[in-house]
């Protein structure tokens, strides 16, 4: 969250640029369907993710209180535990220090989780909108130079036979192609700015996710049976959080590559030579996928997600082996 605050001017500019790129036409049914489907999916995810996170924080913070109340109700000797297993430079079992430590753990846990939530929602929202705009661009490109009759003539002046008997493409769709090229360039620039803004955040997420997953599995298996429910909830949240980030990044990468497929599926062969040259440039640029990176160390895709889970398991196996020997 500190990184986002530090780069708040960049994010304000990005939001303004995104609003300028936003489609305004409402008479295009297919484009409206793509837009609505993307917005519905994003809205569902944000509601689900926020509710899941709030429930997880509440469960984690209230579990020690619930256990203390349950034991006390049964007449057993009980003391209020702690949210986190943290070492302090003082005796945290002392009544005064216990209250301070518990309040600190609750506040720090809630703050860190909601800062993470804010960052994730911003990342997924902007990434989803870029992906949607790339898919709308694909739709616009596929509609270039549509077929208007039988081959060899017809309305629209698609072309005819030249002196040598060869087909001559004469349809001029230069205005539409230039518009598509400009939108494509703006989306690429927007993505590059967003990638720079989130690059460090993505590095922290990818590096710490393996460690977090490893540690919570280790705690569940070996250390804290009473906190097992909340720890399992935290495990699901950690796996879901990094998985969703990788999924959105992977979806954007697929949409960026899909622009070249859209050019191939368009009526490029009905356009004149100048238009074809522009479309070739679009193909060449879109064949270089748009990747979110972790400070340029690694591209973030679903393969990255699989790598994070594999690394977490390797860490856990090493810890388990060391713990078993002792």
For residues 183 and 160, give the distance between their C-alpha atoms in angstroms, rounded to a whole number: 32
* 122: nearest Cα among 184, 201, 53, 62: 201
Phi and psi angles of residue 259, each rounded to the nearest 5 degrees, phi first: -65, -40
Burial class of residue 121 in the structure, from the number of CB atoms within 10 Å of its CB (0-12 exposed, 13-18 middle, 19+ buried):
middle
Sign of CA dihedral 94, 96, 99, 104: negative
Q: Which pLDDT score, from 0 to 100, does residue 131 have? A: 92
For residues 173 and 192, give the distance between their C-alpha atoms in angstroms, rounded to a whole number: 29
Taking the CA of residue 96 as centre, how many other CA atoms within 13 Å lie in the half-sphere pointing to its CB?
Answer: 1
Do residues 279 and 271 make contact, with C-beta atoms less than 8 angstroms apart? yes
Average pLDDT per consecutive 10 residues, the chain (326 residues; last block may be shorter): 61 66 69 86 89 81 77 75 71 78 80 81 89 90 71 41 39 80 88 86 85 82 65 80 90 91 85 85 87 86 89 86 76
Helical ranges in 219-272 per DSSP H: 228-265
Phi and psi angles of residue 297, each rounded to the nearest 5 degrees, phi first: -75, -35
For residues 162 and 165, give the distance between their C-alpha atoms in angstroms, rounded to a whole number: 5
Neighbours of 171 (CB within 10 A): 19
> End-to-end alpha-carbon separation of the chain, Å?
39
């Amino acid at each position: 969250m500190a990184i986002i605050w530090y780069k708040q001017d960049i994010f304000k500019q990005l939001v303004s640029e995104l609003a300028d790129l936003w489609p305004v036409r409402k008479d295009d049914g297919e484009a409206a369907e793509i837009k609505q489907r993307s917005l519905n999916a994003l809205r569902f995810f944000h509601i689900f993710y926020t509710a899941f996170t709030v429930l997880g924080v509440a469960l984690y913070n209230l579990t020690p209180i619930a256990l203390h109340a349950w034991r006390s109700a049964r007449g057993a000797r009980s003391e209020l535990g702690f949210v986190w297993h943290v070492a302090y430079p003082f005796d945290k079992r002392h009544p005064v220090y216990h209250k301070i430590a518990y309040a600190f753990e609750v506040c720090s846990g809630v703050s860190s989780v909601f800062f993470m939530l804010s960052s994730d929602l911003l990342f997924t929202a902007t990434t989803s909108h870029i992906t949607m705009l790339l898919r709308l661009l694909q739709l616009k490109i596929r509609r270039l130079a549509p077929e208007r009759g039988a081959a060899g003539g017809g309305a629209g002046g698609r072309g005819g036979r030249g002196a040598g008997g060869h087909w001559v493409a004469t349809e001029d769709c230069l205005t539409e192609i230039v518009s598509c090229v400009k939108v494509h360039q703006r989306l690429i620039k927007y993505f590059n700015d967003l990638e720079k803004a989130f690059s460090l955040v993505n590095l922290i997420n990818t590096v710490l996710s393996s460690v977090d997953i490893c540690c919570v599995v280790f705690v569940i298996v070996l250390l804290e049976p009473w906190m097992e429910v909340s720890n399992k909830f935290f495990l699901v949240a950690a796996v879901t959080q990094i998985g969703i980030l990788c999924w959105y990044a992977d979806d954007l990468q697929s949409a960026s590559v899909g622009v070249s497929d859209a050019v191939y599926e368009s009526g490029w062969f009905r356009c004149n030579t100048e238009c074809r040259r522009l479309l070739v440039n679009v193909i060449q640029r879109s064949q270089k996928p748009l990747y979110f990176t972790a400070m340029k160390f690694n591209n973030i895709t679903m393969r990255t997600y699989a790598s994070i889970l594999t690394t977490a398991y390797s860490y856990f196996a090493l810890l388990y082996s060391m713990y078993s020997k002792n």
